[in-house]
Amino acid sequence: MKKFVATLLAVAMVLSMSACGSSSNDVLADGVLTVGTNAEFPPFEFIGDDGQPDGFDIALIKAVGEKLGVKVEVSNMEFASLVTSIGSKIDVAIAGMTVTEERKQAVEFSNPYYDAVQYVILPKDSAIKTADDLVGKTIGVQLGTTGDFIAQDIQDSTVSAYNKAVDAVNDLINGRVDVVIIDKNPALVFESKYSDSVVAVDGAQYGFEVEQYAIAMPKGNTELVEKVNKAIEELKADGTFDQLVEKYI
Ligand code: GLN
């Protein structure tokens, strides 16, 4: 009898586990893909004139949603909480998010869709020219980003982390930080917006390495990863991807 109960329990466990697996894996079953972003990262994501998130990433994920036959709902949140929200508050995240080994422990990534590098934004009259000049400086970054991680690794740095990148740039202009480290394209957007006061310099000059952006998805959901990769490939093949690059970047 004991053995029978144990077998029953084991069967029930396996059944409930597989039920769990299929329901949690099929994030598309309800016809809606809930997407987290941080709309503070132009031109990849920003708040458009209609008050809604817009930008390259938003257009890309909407096009992916169309290929997958689901509606895309975008949820704007802090960058630093995106990874931990995947699988609970949101299905996936698209936010100019760099693939890192650490993030890979917590989420799956699509194939990379964009190459980037960290840039250095400086006041126009700054004497900071080389990696050595960054030692001991006060560095503005966006919280939880690769720029934040790089800044923390710089010797004797003081890191000021902001939820909004634009606040870091404003503090650079106000003289509260010596330099801002942020991804290339937003750096170029800020440089042209505040061209009277700042310049943006390629981080390769400071030894920063190339990074790749990808869509983050729930850990273990390889089925979704395959579908999203296939959709991205189709968008590249049919010209949509290049049109979006042209429009936004
Ligand atoms: N690419 C950087 C990162 O993944 C910054 C992304 C962002 O601020 N949206 O950390």
Tell me the residue length of the chain: 249
Ligand 1 atom with the smallest distance to the CA of 144 is 10
pLDDT per residue over 74-127, tens digit each?
999 999 999 999 999 999 999 999 999 999 999 999 999 999 999 999 999 999
The 3-state DSSP class for residue 96 equals: coil
**165-183 tens-digit pLDDT:** 999 999 999 999 999 999 9
Shortest-distance atom of ligand 1 to CA 40:
9
Query: Torsion over CA of 204, 55, 65 and 236, rounded to 10 degrees?
Result: -50
> How far, in Å, from the CA of 80 to the mean position of ligand 1?
9
Q: Is 76 helix (H, G, I), strand (E, B) or coil?
A: strand
pLDDT, position 14: 45
- Which residue puts its alpha carbon closest to atom 8 of ligand 1? 145
From the CA of 165, give the closest atom in ligand 1.
8
Average pLDDT in the 161-167 region? 95
Please tell me the distance from the alpha carbon of residue 183 to that of residue 66, in angstroms, as a whole number.
28
Proportion of the chain above pLDDT 90, given as a percent: 88
Quick check: 243 pLDDT over 80? yes
Question: Does the pLDDT value for residue 21 go beyond 70?
Answer: no
CA of 11 relative to ligand 1 center, distance in Å: 44
For residue 201, the cross-strand partners are 120
Q: How confident is the model at residue 27 (pLDDT cuts 50, 70, 90)?
A: confident
pLDDT at 2: 53
Contact 49, 196 (CB under 8 A): no
Q: Look at residue 245 and tell me whether its pLDDT is greater than 70.
A: yes
Q: Is the pTM of this model over 0.95?
A: no
